[in-house]
Structure 1
């Protein structure tokens, strides 16, 4: 009489490995999409917070504070007339910034002067792109920055 050996057959092991590979492939693809989406949202939110910081710094100090948005270099800078206070780099979020270069000049009262910088008289969209995902903000003439759908 033969005794039965415990364990798995080669076929059973191959089936488990194939199923594991399929599940891993689906999960990895979903994770990559989620990571891209989160990166552009984080970059957009960081830009909004940088603009809020520029405005609050102008009110706090009573001085003119410049918010320079430079999509070509992927930078958003907060500066005074003689120094840079903070810099946001879209590359830090793995995103690419698109739009037109814009400079806002916040007064000590917290609003932007229309005659400063590049004479912003209309809404300016700024976007962040990574893969197929995008997140946008709109820069308004008086210095407000809001999310765009």
Structure 2
């Protein structure tokens, strides 16, 4: 019985952690959408969705997983998607504004530059592709049926 109680408590704590993370990510996106100034997007071209990618020189997952995933997307989608890379260790003010606590962190932006999705940690190419599709469809943080039905014709 004691083991079962511990298991239930552990499961409840994990569930609470997941809910808190989702709530925090949603709050972060809403806060950023309400903020008119978006540092780091100086080279942003309105009309195309994109990815804002925070990295650092000593980030191994950034070099070995995240950067190849972004290169794959760039090869598949070409100029239809823009990718802006920011060194979070060199541009700490920009990273602070966006709420970056760790690298890699990616923000998927709609065609107007508004953040629609945030990924703390590595995001695979397929996940980013789905999020770009959702951002193009006007989605705000989920990949609902409407986003799944639309083809990514970037």
TM-score normalised over the length of structure 1: 0.37
TM-score normalised over the length of structure 2: 0.36
Larger radius of gyration: 1
Higher RCO, 1 vs 2 (CA within 8 Å, ≥6 residues apart): 2
Question: Of Structure 1 and Structure 2, which has the larger fraction of its residues in strand?
Answer: 1
Question: Of Structure 1 and Structure 2, which has the larger fraction of its residues in helix?
Answer: 2
